[in-house]
């Protein structure tokens, strides 16, 4: 029995084009996301730190990942060193992650709009029932792609 983590599949099984993996580095958990260069969201999940490198390896087997986009704040130096040890390590690109957690709260409600009476509660008073580090990872990739395309 393999200990490889199960990966939620968000995209069709057709062969995806080039993709980036985003990492919101943390001390206890990390947000991971895979986004195609066409900006299609292929995968996102919050992963305990002890499963991050294994999950990245599994993702690299499933998607043609060209680079790793990572936040430049909490723990980024240590994660750069750990990721550089991956076999055939992809290039690591650091992105300014300031205010990304606040932005991720807004994106969470766009991705998972409240239902029923929850719609009546102002967004600032709603609580999010799960970590949003994976959504931060998505935003980091988007920031990088905006920078690349000159939209920034």
For the chain, give every domain's residue range.
19-149
Between helices 52-62 and 76-84, what is the axis angle to 10°?
Answer: 50
Phi first, then psi: give them for residue 35, nearest 5 degrees.
-130, 135
pTM of the model: 0.86
Distance of CA 110 to the CA centre of its chain: 16
CA dihedral sign, ordered 78, 100, 69, 35: positive
Where residue 2 falls among pLDDT bands split at 50, 70, 90? very low
**Beta carbons of 11 and 42 less than 8 angstroms apart:** yes
Tell me which of 15-19, 43-47, 96-100, 102-106 is least confident. 15-19
Where residue 131 falls among pLDDT bands split at 50, 70, 90? very high
Contacts of 83 (CB under 8 A, 6+ apart): 23, 53, 56, 68, 70, 89, 92
Where residue 152 falls among pLDDT bands split at 50, 70, 90? low
pLDDT digits (tens, 9 = 90+) for 37-61: 999 999 999 999 999 999 999 999 9
Which CATH number is associated with domain 19-149?
3.30.420.140
């Amino acid at each position: 029995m393999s200990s490889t983590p199960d990966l939620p599949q968000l995209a069709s099984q057709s062969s995806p084009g080039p993709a980036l993996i985003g990492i919101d580095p943390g001390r206890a958990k990390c947000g991971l996301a895979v986004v195609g260069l066409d900006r299609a969201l292929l995968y996102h999940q919050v992963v305990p730190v002890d499963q991050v490198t294994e999950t990245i390896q599994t993702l690299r087997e499933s998607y043609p990942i060209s680079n790793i986009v990572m936040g430049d704040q909490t723990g980024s130096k240590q994660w750069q060193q750990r990721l550089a040890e991956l076999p055939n390590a992809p290039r690591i690109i650091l992105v300014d992650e300031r205010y990304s957690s606040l932005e991720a709260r807004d994106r969470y409600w766009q991705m998972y709009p409240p239902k029923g009476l929850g719609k009546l509660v102002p967004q600032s008073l709603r609580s999010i029932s799960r970590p949003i580090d994976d959504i931060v990872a998505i935003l980091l990739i988007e920031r990088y792609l905006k920078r690349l395309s000159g939209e920034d």
